[in-house]
Amino acid sequence: MPTTFQQAVKTNVSRTQRHEAIDALAREGKPTKLGILVRLSGLSGEFRGQALGELGRCRATEELEAIAEDRSVERVLRRKAAAMA
């Protein structure tokens, strides 16, 4: 059985299950895993954006600041991270 993180990234899992997995990572207090999702360039923007939003709701300031400074992350996501930090 895949882990919650694996469910969020696997393409053969339904969109609903992937969104639920990202929600579960936030409920479980896993900001590092959410940060990885935001940084995954191969992951659809809708899931990266959701992970970023969950980081903001969790008040994961350190992770948000790290994303805001990470030039490998798309500019729009960096700006949103900076605004939420």
Query: What's the pLDDT score for residue 9?
Result: 95
Q: Which residue has the higher pLDDT, 2 or 10?
A: 10
Give the span between the Cα atoms of 70 and 85, in whole angstroms: 14
Amino acid present at 23:
D
- Scanning 1-85, the segments in alpha helix (DSSP H) are 4-9, 15-27, 31-39, 45-57, 61-69, 75-84
Contact assessment for residue 8 and residue 37, using Cβ atoms and an 8 Å cutoff: yes
pLDDT tens for 29-63 read: 999 999 999 999 999 999 999 999 999 999 999 99
Contact assessment for residue 55 and residue 63, using Cβ atoms and an 8 Å cutoff: yes
Range of the domain at 49: 4-84
Q: What percent of the chain has pLDDT over 70?
A: 100
Q: How many domains does the chain have?
A: 1
- Assess whether pLDDT exceeds 80 at residue 1: no
- Assess whether pLDDT exceeds 80 at residue 77: yes
pLDDT tens for 7-32 read: 999 999 999 999 999 999 999 999 99
pTM confidence score: 0.94
